[in-house]
Structure 1
Amino acid sequence: MRRQNVMENETLKTLESLRSVHWNFNEKPVSREDIETIVQHSMKAANSDNLTDYSVIVVTDPEVLNTITGGESQGKAATCLVYAIDQTRILRCAKALGYDQYQPLHRLYNFFIMLGDVFAAAQTAVVAAKALGIDSLMTNFSHRHHPKEIMKLLNLPEEYCFPVIQVVLGYSDRDPKQTRGRLPMKHVLHYDQYQPASEAEVQAMIEEMDQVYPEYISDQYKHALDWYFNEWFIEWYDEPTYRELYECLRNSKLVYEPD
């Protein structure tokens, strides 16, 4: 009886229906009213010290979106919410009150807090969008496609601000039954203490991923994870990409470097 009641819960139904649409959006636009409803409700997510230490840049121009995604969007007319860590507001408030030397202490601690705030807001945006019948894709193209150039194009401050995660919004004609699965909860959930996976459980996970991604099994790759470790895992973050990302983040001053 309880399980039946759970499945009748509208919020849980929305969560159950979540799926990532990988740029498979049609031409139907997302209205400004819906965009603002989604962002407003994403701001209901938990937030450290209630500082709202992020900003949201809405990208609706297909050409701009295609540029900042490195061509991933393929010119599609989708809406993209760029969620960026942003401490510039609190620093300006400090200066306005006479705290000219104010700088956030323990920046690594603050950085983790801000990451949590940004991801909580972005995921809440995904849920809010789905509740409105709008599909989404959560992605991190700002890490892979010249973040410094993306920040300049979006007029983001060079210091104390950094684009972390993006939520692409739109409508898809894709069959919801095509949604990809996740690992069963038995591999993820631990009570009281963490329990390392047994060899049998590791083999089970490998086989389960084969069932989720059969198209990656071939003469070259016996298992789907073989493809993942040989191609996908190393595709985006080569050495130049990593160094550019690191330099951009370091220059933002969001992460403190001890002398």
Structure 2
Amino acid sequence: MNISDGVAIRAANASARQSYSVIVVEDRKIMKKLCGFPGSKSLLFCVDFNRIADMAGYLNNEFQGAKSLGIDSLFTNGIHRGDAERVFDILELPQEYCFPLIALILGYPSEVLWKF
């Protein structure tokens, strides 16, 4: 099941606009360049400055959907700290109306430390 299609895309958003972008990064070298954390997949959440709440709802659904499938995750806002221009260059993002805000690193755990 694709989490994005199955669960996360159903996140509540203002006027059904879905005014956010999610960039899927599967190349571990690019993940390492972007935020220093390699995973099986990284989702970079970009936000229209007028719709931060919409992006947050989608991110939460993505996280919950992954967890329900046994996929662990790591949220990081360090994606843009220090050198945001680097992120724009690596992913060739538009400079207007888009800002890479949060990365969600996904992967299966190598060991389970505890269960709830």
Tell me whether the two structures share a fold, i.e. TM-score over 0.5: yes
Q: Deviation string for 1:152-195 (max 9, x for gaps)?
A: 21111000111111111101114125x9xxxxxxxxxxxxxxxx
Does the residue aligned with 2:10 lie in a helix, a strand or coil?
A: coil
Kindly indicate whether residue 15 of structure 2 is the aligned counterpart of residue 49 of structure 1.
yes
Does the residue aligned with 2:80 lie in a helix, a strand or coil?
A: helix
Question: By how many angstroms is 1:77 displaced?
Answer: 4.1
Kindly indicate whether residue 22 of structure 2 is the aligned counterpart of residue 85 of structure 1.
no
Structure 2: gaps of 5 or more residues? none
Q: Which has the bigger relative contact order, CA under 8 A and spacing at least 6? A: 2
Q: Structure 1 residues 125 and 77, CA, compared in 2 at 3 Å: closer, same or farther?
A: closer
Identity %: 34
Q: CA RMSD in A?
A: 1.8
C-alpha distance in structure 2 between counterparts of 1:134 and 1:52, whole Å? 24
Richer in strand (by share): 2
Pairing of 1:4-153 with structure 2 (within 5 A): 34=1, 37-40=2-5, 41-69=7-35, 72-73=36-37, 76-86=38-48, 111=50, 114-153=51-90
- The aligned amino acid for 1:149 is R
Q: Structure 1 residues 164 and 77, CA, compared in 2 at 3 Å: closer, same or farther?
A: closer
C-alpha distance in structure 2 between counterparts of 1:146 and 1:122, whole Å? 23
C-alpha distance in structure 2 between counterparts of 1:175 and 1:127, whole Å? 19
Q: Deviation string for 1:25-73 (max 9, x for gaps)?
A: xxxxxxxxx4xx211221111101111101110111111011011xx31
Structure 2 partner of 1:94:
none
- The aligned amino acid for 2:47 is I
C-alpha distance in structure 1 between counterparts of 2:62 and 2:68, whole Å? 10
C-alpha distance in structure 2 between counterparts of 1:143 and 1:68, whole Å? 8
Q: Deviation string for 1:124-161 (max 9, x for gaps)?
A: 10000011111111111223141111012111100011
C-alpha distance in structure 2 between counterparts of 1:167 and 1:39, whole Å? 12
- The aligned amino acid for 1:47 is N
Richer in helix (by share): 1
Runs of 4+ in structure 1 over 3 Å off: none
| Count of residue correspondences | 114
